[in-house]
């Protein structure tokens, strides 16, 4: 393992690219191996987790540790609640929540599990190589003795047991012959001290002596006997070492033996790059030619249309001018009227008839023009409006020749938005497409068109992040085969949540009644078991026994900001209450004896005690909405008491938006991101997501949308 670098066929100075952390872009410092097998500096992992905590969970305590990288809130009132519900429970004993973050190397999400950073192996092999690289890079820079008095002497050896470097004199002093220290392992001067034996992160006192082929990581015998790897196929460390070393050596020999072929392929790739550049320029010129032809056609049509409009305008104006001149002549007929009046004074009948006949014809013509006034032409040009809708649609779909590639179709049922957007699509000719381009853009309220953002995708689904809150986004996709692409799919419009998604799990300690409630291992689903225990309790019905609500809350509290979370209530649920409650109110509820509470006096029993409705206009430290029997019940208000206005179909997924600073909580239909009900709530204390179940029922928290894990191939 400590082989001389000069014996390597590849110089140690030529591998710097492999020794750079993908996060900080510097040489690795205490690298850790992630589940995706990429390595990252210890400090970089911590910085990533802190960044995610600041982004997605603004509340928290400064008492976080490496095994629980999430910033958790630990309030005195919550401790009181836990002591009431579970005597003997110790502070800070909550199981840390699973932490997920994107790997800087492959950009796929990595789950650190409950142990967080403590569950990761340190990459000592990589650390040793980095140290050798540093020594080769600094060459003449000496490692000084750690024990010398100033000025220190240059060290000649390093003790792996003491994790220190010594000069000859100091080594003799601190490692005298005949003592235990004389048996210590020493090597040449180094700053990289690694343990002799690799210990298990989950069982710190156990040595690593096995290799899990499924998880591709070393494990100890306790991991195999009763841990997470009990059902996995494991092999001995010596077998794994031999197999992997043989395979790696074989691959290295193959690469070295193909050096000439690789150089030839590099030359071929360079030629292909030049050819691609020439073809690309030629394609651009052809595209410009096609668009110039379109511009010429449009200019020609534009000139033709404008000429037609001008000709029609001139003809109409000429008609109006002729009509104006005719009516101008009527004004000149005022003299005709005076002349006619003088003719009427003629008393000689023969003379009057001789003159009046012609005069009557002229006056009759003027009279008819006044009786039937009609404009000589129309002012509207509605017949000359250019209908370019079809052409606009065609131009909008203008693309490269599809060569028979079908248009992809976005699957609306499998596409959704939560903390991120998940877009799924179907392509009938999937095998003919090399890749896809997913386009998305924000739709403003004034319907202003924003530019499209593009993401190249190899599969038929993609997670889109960094979307703005409470906005509409349009998504569409097109398929590519080489440089040929299909037209774009029909657009899908999604509405993002009104606030950042608040990530939490159900708390299995505070108020959790394991006799009635069943919580899964991931703590994101709870079911109410209305079974044998309820039947036994029903024997006391003669003495006034009533079934009470079983409460369960989130494991993280809220003390500021805006937060949004979503969940699904199972359709078979009888009665479920969902909402928020303060730590003080939870303490009061959980302190009440469950078996003696009557629904007449229970705060949220749903009976006609009116506890929820009497204080509608005042701010309470809790708000719970009733869901059940496939219905969503709007609480009563002074303005609406009709049942038909208060009962809605139960949404597939329900969202809750809490604005802590403004003291307001809203309930949403997640399918349409529509607010169903909102009201004021007293947020003077820490607020928790609260749930209550009676009878059969189930609640499933919505899982945050993240990129899928890598599909690892078996290496052994």
Radius of gyration of the chain measured on its C-alpha atoms: 41
What does the alpha-carbon distance between residue 233 and residue 223 come to, in Å, rounded to a whole number?
A: 12
User: How confident is the model over 454-468, as a mean pLDDT?
Assistant: 89
Q: Which of 225-229, 328-332, 404-408 has the lowest mean pLDDT?
A: 328-332
Q: Which of 300-314, 449-463, 556-570, 601-615 has the lowest mean pLDDT?
A: 601-615
Give pLDDT, residue 591. 66
409-495 topology per CATH: Immunoglobulin-like (2.60.40)
Q: Is the pLDDT of residue 50 over 80?
A: no
User: Coil, helix or strand for 539?
Assistant: helix
Q: What is the largest CA-CA distance in the chain?
A: 169
> Which has more confidence, 563 or 330?
563
What does the alpha-carbon distance between residue 238 and residue 233 come to, in Å, rounded to a whole number?
A: 15
Q: Is the pLDDT of residue 613 over 50?
A: no
Mean pLDDT of the chain: 77
Tokens matching residue 360: 């009557």
Kindly give, in sequence order, each residue whose CB lies less than 8 Å from that of residue 673, ignoring residues fewer than 6 positions away.
495, 496, 497, 498, 655
Q: Which residues pair with 386 in a beta bridge?
A: none
Where in the chain are the domains? 12-53+97-139, 240-397, 409-495, 500-590+619-637+644-715
Strand order in the sheet with 164-166: 164-166, 157-159, 186-187
User: How confident is the model over 438-450, as a mean pLDDT?
Assistant: 79
3-state secondary structure string across 322-340: HHHHHHHHHHHCHHHHHHH
> How confident is residue 538, by pLDDT bands cut at 50, 70 and 90?
low
Q: Is the pLDDT of residue 610 over 50?
A: no
C-alpha neighbours within 13 Å on the C-beta side of residue 225 = 6
> How confident is residue 554, by pLDDT bands cut at 50, 70 and 90?
very high
Tokens matching residue 655: 């969202």
Phi-psi region of 219 (alpha: psi -120 to 50; beta: other; left: phi over 0): beta
Query: For residue 129, is the peptide bond before it cis, meaning its omega torsion is within 30 degrees of 0?
Result: no
C-alpha neighbours within 13 Å on the C-beta side of residue 23 = 22
Instruction: Identify whether the C-beta of residue 426 lies closer than 8 Å to the C-beta of residue 711.
Output: no
Tokens matching residue 82: 């836990």
* Per-residue DSSP letter, 90: P
State the CB neighbour count (10 A cutoff) for residue 226. Answer: 9
**Residue-wise pLDDT tens digits, 226-285:** 777 878 888 888 888 888 888 888 888 887 888 888 888 888 889 989 988 998 898 889
Tokens matching residue 711: 């599909």
What does the alpha-carbon distance between residue 95 and residue 78 come to, in Å, rounded to a whole number?
A: 15
Q: Report residue 509: phi and psi, to 5°.
A: -110, -50
Instruction: Identify whether the C-beta of residue 111 lies closer than 8 Å to the C-beta of residue 215.
Output: no
User: Coil, helix or strand for 581?
Assistant: strand
Angle between helices 76-85 and 583-591 (to 10 degrees): 10
CA-wise closest residue to 210 among 196, 222, 202, 226: 222
**Residue-wise pLDDT tens digits, 521-537:** 888 999 987 655 555 55
Q: Which of 14-28, 340-354, 388-402 has the lowest mean pLDDT?
A: 388-402
**Residue-wise pLDDT tens digits, 175-234:** 888 788 887 877 777 777 766 677 787 787 788 888 888 878 888 888 888 777 878 888
What does the alpha-carbon distance between residue 156 and residue 273 come to, in Å, rounded to a whole number?
A: 52
Give pLDDT, residue 677. 92
**Residue-wise pLDDT tens digits, 195-209:** 667 778 778 778 888
Q: Is the pLDDT of residue 596 over 70?
A: no
What does the alpha-carbon distance between residue 534 and residue 201 come to, in Å, rounded to a whole number?
A: 44
Give pLDDT, residue 668. 95
Give pLDDT, residue 705. 82
Instruction: Render 186-208 in DSSP notation, one character per residue.
Output: EESS-S----SSPBPSSSTTSB-
Domain 12-53+97-139 homologous superfamily, CATH: Zinc/RING finger domain, C3HC4 (zinc finger) (3.30.40.10)
Give pLDDT, residue 585. 85
Kindly give, in sequence order, each residue whose CB lies less than 8 Å from that of residue 468, ignoring residues fewer than 6 positions away.
442, 496
CA-wise closest residue to 460 among 494, 422, 492: 422
Q: Which of 331-335, 510-514, 630-634, 658-662 has the lowest mean pLDDT?
A: 331-335
3-state secondary structure string across 612-669: CCCCCCCCECEEEEEEECCEEECCCECCECCHHHHEEECCCCEEEEEECCCCEEEEEE
500-590+619-637+644-715 topology per CATH: Jelly Rolls (2.60.120)
* 500-590+619-637+644-715 has the same fold as 409-495: no
Give pLDDT, residue 1. 43
Give pLDDT, residue 657. 96
Q: Which of 107-116, 138-147, 644-653, 703-712 has the lowest mean pLDDT?
A: 703-712
CA-wise closest residue to 36 among 104, 136, 128, 138: 104
Give pLDDT, residue 627. 93
Instruction: Identify whether the C-beta of residue 489 lies closer than 8 Å to the C-beta of residue 425.
Output: yes
């Amino acid at each position: 393992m400590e082989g001389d670098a000069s014996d390597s066929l590849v110089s140690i100075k030529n591998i710097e690219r492999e020794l750079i952390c993908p996060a900080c872009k510097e040489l690795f410092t205490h690298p850790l191996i992630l589940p995706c097998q990429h390595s990252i500096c210890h400090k970089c992992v911590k910085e990533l987790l802190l960044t995610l905590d600041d982004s997605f969970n603004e509340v928290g305590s400064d008492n976080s540790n490496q095994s629980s990288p999430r910033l958790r809130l630990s309030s005195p009132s919550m401790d009181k609640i836990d002591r009431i519900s579970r005597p003997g429970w110790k502070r800070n004993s909550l199981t840390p929540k699973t932490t997920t973050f994107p790997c800087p190397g492959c950009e796929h999400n990595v789950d650190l599990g409950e142990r967080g950073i403590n569950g990761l192996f340190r990459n000592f092999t990589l650390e040793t190589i980095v140290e050798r690289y540093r020594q080769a890079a600094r060459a003449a820079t000496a490692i000084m003795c750690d024990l010398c008095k100033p000025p220190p002497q240059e060290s000649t050896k390093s003790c792996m047991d003491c994790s220190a470097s010594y000069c000859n004199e100091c080594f003799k002093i601190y490692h005298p012959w005949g003592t235990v220290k004389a048996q210590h392992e020493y090597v040449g001067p180094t700053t990289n001290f690694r343990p002799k034996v690799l210990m298990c992160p989950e069982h710190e006192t156990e040595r690593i002596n096995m290799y899990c082929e499924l998880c591709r990581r070393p494990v100890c015998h306790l991991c195999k006997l009763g841990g997470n790897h009990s059902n996995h196929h494991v092999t001995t460390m010596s077998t794994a070492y031999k197999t992997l070393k043989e395979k790696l050596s074989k691959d290295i020999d193959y690469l070295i033996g193909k050096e000439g072929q690789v150089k030839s392929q590099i030359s071929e790739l360079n030629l292909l790059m030049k050819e691609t550049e020439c073809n690309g320029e030629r394609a651009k010129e052809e595209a410009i030619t096609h668009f110039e032809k379109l511009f010429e056609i449009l200019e020609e049509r534009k000139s033709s249309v404008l000429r037609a409009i001008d000709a029609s305008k001139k003809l109409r104006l000429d008609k109006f001018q002729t009509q104006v001149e005719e009516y101008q002549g009527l004004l000149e007929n005022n003299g005709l009227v005076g002349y006619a009046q003088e003719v009427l004074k003629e008393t000689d009948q023969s003379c009057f008839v001789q003159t009046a006949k012609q005069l009557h014809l002229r006056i009759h013509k003027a009279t008819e023009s006044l009786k039937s006034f009609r404009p000589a032409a129309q002012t509207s040009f509605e017949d000359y409006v250019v209908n370019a809708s079809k052409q606009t649609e065609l131009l909008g779909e203008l693309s490269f020749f599809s060569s028979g590639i079908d248009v992809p179709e976005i699957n609306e049922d499998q596409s959704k938005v939560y903390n991120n957007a998940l877009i799924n699509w179907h392509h009938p000719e999937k095998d003919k497409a090399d890749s896809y381009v997913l386009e998305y853009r924000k739709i403003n309220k004034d319907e202003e068109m924003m530019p499209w953002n593009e993401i190249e995708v190899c599969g038929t689904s993609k997670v889109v992040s960094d979307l703005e809150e409470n906005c509409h986004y349009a998504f569409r996709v097109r398929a590519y085969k080489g440089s040929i692409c299909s037209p774009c799919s029909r657009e899908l419009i999604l509405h993002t949540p009104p606030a950042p998604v608040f990530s939490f799990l159900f708390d299995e300690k505070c108020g959790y009644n394991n006799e009635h409630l069943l919580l899964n291992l991931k703590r994101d689903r709870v079911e109410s078991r209305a079974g044998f225990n309820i039947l036994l309790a029903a024997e006391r019905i003669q003495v006034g026994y009533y079934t009470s609500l079983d409460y369960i809350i989130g494991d993280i509290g809220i003390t500021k900001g805006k937060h949004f979370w979503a969940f699904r209530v199972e359709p078979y649920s009888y009665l479920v209450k969902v909402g928020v409650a303060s730590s003080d109110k939870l303490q009061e509820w959980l302190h009440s004896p469950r078996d003696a509470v009557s629904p007449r006096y229970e705060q949220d029993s749903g009976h006609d005690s009116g506890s929820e409705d009497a204080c509608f206009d005042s701010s309470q430290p809790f708000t719970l909405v009733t869901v059940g029997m496939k219905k969503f019940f709007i609480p009563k208000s002074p303005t609406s008491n009709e049942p038909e206005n208060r009962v809605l179909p139960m949404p597939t997924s329900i969202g809750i938006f809490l604005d802590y600073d403004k003291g307001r909580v809203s309930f949403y239909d997640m399918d349409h991101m529509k607010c169903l009900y909102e009201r004021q709530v007293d947020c003077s204390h820490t607020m928790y997501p609260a749930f209550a179940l009676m009878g059969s029922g189930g609640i499933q928290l919505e899982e945050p949308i993240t990129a899928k894990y890598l599909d690892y191939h078996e290496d052994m």
